Structure 1
Amino acid sequence: MQFGGRRKKNSINPQSELYGQHLQFYGQPPLENISLSEFETFAVERLKLLKTVENLGVSHVKLTDLYISKLEKELKALNFPYRPDADDKKSQSGPTEYEKRRKDHISHFILRLAYCQTEDLRRWFIQQEVDLFRFRFNDLDPKQQLEFLHKNNLRYDTISSEEKLKLKDQLINSSFGVSGITVMEHEFYKVPFQDALDLVRLRKVYLKQGYAYIPHQDIVTIVLNDFRTRLSKALALTARSLPAVHSDERLQPLLNHLSHAYVGQDYSIQKNVGKISLDQIDSLSGKSFPLCMRQLHQSLRENHHLRHGGRMQYGLFLKGIGLSLEQALQFWKMEFIRGKVDADKFDKAYAYSIRHMFGKEGKRTDYTPYSCMKVILSNPPSQGDHHGCPFRHSDPELLKQKLQVYKVSPSGINQILELVKGMHYQLACQKYFELTHNIEDSSFSLNHPNQYFLESQKLLGGGKDIKREMDAPQRSQENAASKGSTATQEVAANTSQHLAEMTEDLDSFFQDA
């Protein structure tokens, strides 16, 4: 496909120059044609990279040796640039540095299309790209950092030796790592204080008459602020072009997959149908259900009813852990007739929708249990609803009370609430998993409620009978329902199918992150 507008005969930024830098601001969009297959591959692999950046940023202190080594490992595994001084020689087992930089550049712009659609998506994308940029910038030596500043016309005023001598004591006291012996050897930049709010907040710079005096080793803060501002504006501009992008039937399903950030295991494929008995569900809900499903189960038991959103979310989850169609019909019917629904009304009003979930009615679509991102990004629950993600949709005080009832320790509740405050809802759920299973590190990246259940059963020793085959092929709902569709719809469904098949190992990818 073609990125950007018409290609000029004498391009100001030829590709050799565009991909010639290890680090960049992504100011110039790609100017070449790429295949749809390459488009998909680049998008998914950058998504894996940004997911790794997010997980490492929460589970490790940023830029520590362990954080750096793990991120370098992932950059190398995914064939993204990770060494600023790497040459352009092609190894026997991998692409050249030019090819890695090309992939880095193009994949960034692809995910811009997917993550410009809502404020939450933009915020997540910006944060991960900023963290990745910080890692790469700090990997440059001082000379390379200055070269980067000059190439990108980032001209910050350095103070003279006379001013440095005059402010010597203040600069020593306010700047970490600057001593009386080395102060004259350091470069200091004078910038408006609003461009260095992070350093001001940490009291790491000297302030005078509205200016902050920043030592060179902290210049990354200013560069990051510039990068964040540019990327935020670029995403807003990209969002305006979405109607034109969505008119392309090849790209729309792909971008929808990416923006929901889950392209992993398809839990609709049941390998252990009937392995769970109905009398096990109450016990399993207390020890192996994620909080979203635990609250749905509890609400169902208390009210003997769930609205459509709750029935879909919980019903598909139960299907995914192994409930057969016959068991599902029995389970829902027994519970509903305990409330205000008699058996005849259940058969007429509700049984059809349950059979529909299992692909036995309508278009015969084998519906997939909801992923974490689908639960988080779907319509929020209104009054009387119980679906959604408790970490995303609950009031913090109510969430705190719920966690107390479930005997989560006060320190654990504080950790969860901090993650919620930072909008790391899946990581908050993963922390809940660790606290309720008494482990320090869950060693997996949580992306799906059914994954939570399987990991819990595996940990508790109950996985032999319940755990499904994890190598089942991925299937998309669009592909399953594509029978009889037009040629255009078939192309869209095949695009989604291709993406799903290509990324069915995403869960296992994060096992060692």
Structure 2
Amino acid sequence: MGPAVALRVREIDELWWHYPGHQTARRDGSGRGWPCAGSWGAGPGAGRPAGEMQFSSAQARGKHLWLSGDRRQLYPHSLQFYLEPPTEDISLSEFESLAIDRLKLLKTVESLGVSYVRNSDQYNSKLASELRKLKFPYKALADDDYEARRKDHISHFILRLAYCQSEELRRWFLQQEMDLFRYRFSQLTDNLMQKFMEHVDLSFEAISEDLKNELASELSTSTPGFTMSKVKEQMFYKVGLADAVDLFRARRVFIKDGFAYVPFKDIVAIVLNNYRAKLSKALALTARSLPSIQSDERLQPLLNHLSHSYIGPDYSVQKSTGKISLEQIDALSVKSFPLCMRQLHKALRDNHHLRHGGRMQYGLFLKGIGLTLEQALEFWKKEFIRGKVDADKFDKGYAYSIRHNYGKEGKRTDYTPYSCMKIIMSNPPSQGDYHGCPFRHSDPELLKQKLQSYKIPPSGITQILDLVKGMHYQLACQKYFELTHDVDDIGFSLNHPNQYFTESQKLLSGGREPKKEVSNSGNTQQKNNSQESMNSNSTPTSSNTTTDAELEGLEAYFTED
């Protein structure tokens, strides 16, 4: 069982990472140890004097290297399988900062993987740009990229913990980490690839020149794209069939006597399979061990928030407050509302009522696009009294909650509109509800009918449904934006309904030029979003865990149907 990492929150908000399988510290005087290898643990550190730290041999080695100044020995390669957890103290603020940056990177990886052919020039250049901007390792043997390697190492383990909490989260994290690893491995030189494989114990036997010449005809025939002359130029490795199963299934490799003869250029498939198996197992082990850290009242909310986090601008305060009239909302819902809000608006107009989940999601969105408190009260009251709610019942049962949304009641908290991740990952709609993300929560056939009613062309509907099938819900919404605004490339990564509205208004008012881009003839994947990168100037809101907790409490005010 591979080593995992245990977390201890110390005084002054520091984190102590250690190897649970190799440590020597004891929990208490009874002699009981910390959790066994392969688990995550967290505890108050009872039984030790305050401030005392005991290191395992692995930790002591890391600490010695740190103190001796030989920092590069801690991370000898710019690429790794993340087999050994971090061994240093970090503050909670750095803990979150590192996680947010890696999340931005993985979101970019997801978007680029759908928008471009992996390993194409455009894909590689855009991903390299994001790695440079976020200060992750992006090329081997940089003069001094210790800080980048350290950031890469620690941030992976933080998100591994945050994203192990459900099957859906694990699947997403594994896919993005695999794509990131594939890109970074492909950027290594042949010599560095060889050194990396030796480092991770994937040293396959290179066949001799005599054997290669003897098998040259079979190798050329069985390896796509290999002429006889190319066979002679390329190094081949003798690999166990179990390690080369993907190449075998695709009929891309020569098999003899239970071994695959793999050209060096295809060795990436072997490495990726090995990495996938290790990371998949590590995620499963971590998930099973989660209860051991859930008692920590600071870490668990932070980890939960990271898995649902939004990494864009804060839309709780809008400069356009009061500039939108109530008479404009119907027209705006057609032109500039994302599908989730358009759906809520139509349901409100049709039924003159929304259940509490819909009121929360739509009410905060309207606040974010500029409705004042007075406008919101008038808007909701007029609509509700058209249904079964009289004016007196509205004033007693609903007005307070609207004022609470605007920070005028209760704790006076100015609540933030829901991000895409919060809508997708929390509070799924039930029968009679209209909130949620239509791309995530709607039946595909019903979604198709809705898109048809909104005059989306058949080819566009097919593209959207393909993205939904691949669980790329935000990218499906980006495609919806492109189709409804007649642009080929929106030029940004969509993370928030209020961002959708703001960008739509900019485009429709001429505030920014629509980005038209000619697709490469070699791009066989769907062209959805070029996404240069996440907005580096945006203010991450994932640290606002207190506001999120209060927001959950606020929903109690909306319990009336």
Structure 2 counterpart of 1:68 = 124
Q: Residue 82 of structure 1: which of 124, 138, 141 is its match?
A: 138
Structure 1 counterpart of 2:17 = 3
More divergent stretch after superposition (451-460 vs 8-17) = 8-17
1:128-171 residue CA offsets vs partner (Å, 9 max, x unmatched): 11111111111112222121111211144555656645654443
Instruction: Quickly say closer, same or farther: Cα 1:108–1:412, change in 2 above 3 A.
Output: same
In the alignment, is the contact (CA less than 8 A) between 2:310 and 2:540 conserved in 1?
A: no
1:234-383 pair list within 5 angstroms? 234-383=282-431
Q: Which residue identity is paired with 1:148?
A: F
More divergent stretch after superposition (435-444 vs 187-196) = 187-196
For residue 412 of structure 1, give the secondary structure of its aligned residue in structure 2: helix
Instruction: Quickly say closer, same or farther: Cα 1:70–1:478, change in 2 above 3 A.
Output: closer
Q: Residue 40 of structure 1: which of 60, 75, 96 is its match?
A: 96
Instruction: Quickly say closer, same or farther: Cα 1:51–1:481, change in 2 above 3 A.
Output: closer
More divergent stretch after superposition (416-425 vs 50-59) = 50-59
Superposition deviation, residue 9 in structure 1: 4.2
In the alignment, is the contact (CA less than 8 A) between 2:312 and 2:538 conserved in 1?
A: no
More divergent stretch after superposition (43-52 vs 247-256) = 247-256
Structure 2 counterpart of 1:204 = 252
Superposition deviation, residue 241 in structure 1: 3.7
Structure 2 counterpart of 1:394 = 442
Structure 2 counterpart of 1:419 = 467
Q: Residue 144 of structure 1: which of 192, 208, 212 is its match?
A: 192
1:1-49 residue CA offsets vs partner (Å, 9 max, x unmatched): 1112332246696455331111110000011112223222222222222
Matched residue pairs, number? 470
1:186-197 pair list within 5 angstroms? 186-191=234-239, 195-196=243-244
Taking the aligned partners of 1:481 and 1:441, their CA distance within structure 2 comes to: 33
For residue 328 of structure 1, give the secondary structure of its aligned residue in structure 2: helix
Taking the aligned partners of 2:190 and 2:157, their CA distance within structure 1 comes to: 28
Taking the aligned partners of 2:510 and 2:394, their CA distance within structure 1 comes to: 33
Superposition deviation, residue 273 in structure 1: 2.1
Instruction: Quickly say closer, same or farther: Cα 1:54–1:173, change in 2 above 3 A.
Output: same
Q: Which residue identity is paired with 1:228?
A: R
| 1:181 partnered with 2:229 | yes
Superposition deviation, residue 479 in structure 1: 5.0
In the alignment, is the contact (CA less than 8 A) between 2:305 and 2:545 conserved in 1?
A: no
User: Which stretches in structure 1 are left out of the alignment for 5+ residues?
Assistant: 89-96, 465-469, 484-513
1:148-206 residue CA offsets vs partner (Å, 9 max, x unmatched): 11121114455565664565444323323321123244333454656445445544334
For residue 262 of structure 2, give the secondary structure of its aligned residue in structure 1: strand
Taking the aligned partners of 1:233 and 1:212, their CA distance within structure 2 comes to: 25
Instruction: Quickly say closer, same or farther: Cα 1:193–1:355, change in 2 above 3 A.
Output: farther
For residue 388 of structure 2, give the secondary structure of its aligned residue in structure 1: coil
For residue 263 of structure 1, give the secondary structure of its aligned residue in structure 2: coil
For residue 353 of structure 2, give the secondary structure of its aligned residue in structure 1: coil
Instruction: Quickly say closer, same or farther: Cα 1:256–1:401, change in 2 above 3 A.
Output: same
For residue 311 of structure 2, give the secondary structure of its aligned residue in structure 1: coil
Instruction: Quickly say closer, same or farther: Cα 1:480–1:185, change in 2 above 3 A.
Output: closer
TM-score, length-scaled by structure 2: 0.78
1:346-383 residue CA offsets vs partner (Å, 9 max, x unmatched): 22222222222112222222211100000000121111
Instruction: Quickly say closer, same or farther: Cα 1:337–1:191, change in 2 above 3 A.
Output: farther
TM-score, length-scaled by structure 1: 0.84
Superposition deviation, residue 471 in structure 1: 7.9
In the alignment, is the contact (CA less than 8 A) between 1:269 and 1:472 conserved in 2?
A: no
1:83-102 residue CA offsets vs partner (Å, 9 max, x unmatched): 113233xxxxxxxx122211
Superposition deviation, residue 112 in structure 1: 1.3
Superposition deviation, residue 73 in structure 1: 1.7
Q: Which residue identity is paired with 1:300?
A: L
Instruction: Quickly say closer, same or farther: Cα 1:126–1:278, change in 2 above 3 A.
Output: same
1:266-320 residue CA offsets vs partner (Å, 9 max, x unmatched): 2121332221111111100111000111111111111121111111111111111
Taking the aligned partners of 2:255 and 2:428, their CA distance within structure 1 comes to: 45
| 1:154 partnered with 2:202 | yes
User: Which stretches in structure 2 are left out of the alignment for 5+ residues?
Assistant: 1-14, 24-54, 66-70, 513-536, 551-561
Taking the aligned partners of 2:548 and 2:158, their CA distance within structure 1 comes to: 27
In the alignment, is the contact (CA less than 8 A) between 2:311 and 2:540 conserved in 1?
A: no
Taking the aligned partners of 1:207 and 1:455, their CA distance within structure 2 comes to: 54
In the alignment, is the contact (CA less than 8 A) between 2:424 and 2:440 conserved in 1?
A: yes
For residue 2 of structure 1, give the secondary structure of its aligned residue in structure 2: strand
For residue 34 of structure 1, give the secondary structure of its aligned residue in structure 2: strand
Taking the aligned partners of 1:33 and 1:54, their CA distance within structure 2 comes to: 31
For residue 414 of structure 2, give the secondary structure of its aligned residue in structure 1: coil
More divergent stretch after superposition (213-222 vs 132-141) = 213-222
Instruction: Quickly say closer, same or farther: Cα 1:173–1:206, change in 2 above 3 A.
Output: same
| 1:56 partnered with 2:112 | yes
Taking the aligned partners of 1:85 and 1:267, their CA distance within structure 2 comes to: 41
Structure 2 counterpart of 1:467 = none
Taking the aligned partners of 1:481 and 1:428, their CA distance within structure 2 comes to: 26
In the alignment, is the contact (CA less than 8 A) between 1:454 and 1:463 conserved in 2?
A: no
Instruction: Quickly say closer, same or farther: Cα 1:429–1:183, change in 2 above 3 A.
Output: same
Taking the aligned partners of 1:178 and 1:472, their CA distance within structure 2 comes to: 50
Q: Residue 492 of structure 2: which of 437, 444, 449 is its match?
A: 444
For residue 182 of structure 1, give the secondary structure of its aligned residue in structure 2: helix
| 1:407 partnered with 2:455 | yes
In the alignment, is the contact (CA less than 8 A) between 2:420 and 2:474 conserved in 1?
A: yes
1:34-65 residue CA offsets vs partner (Å, 9 max, x unmatched): 22232222222222222222222222211111
Cα root mean square deviation, aligned = 2.7
1:478-489 pair list within 5 angstroms? none
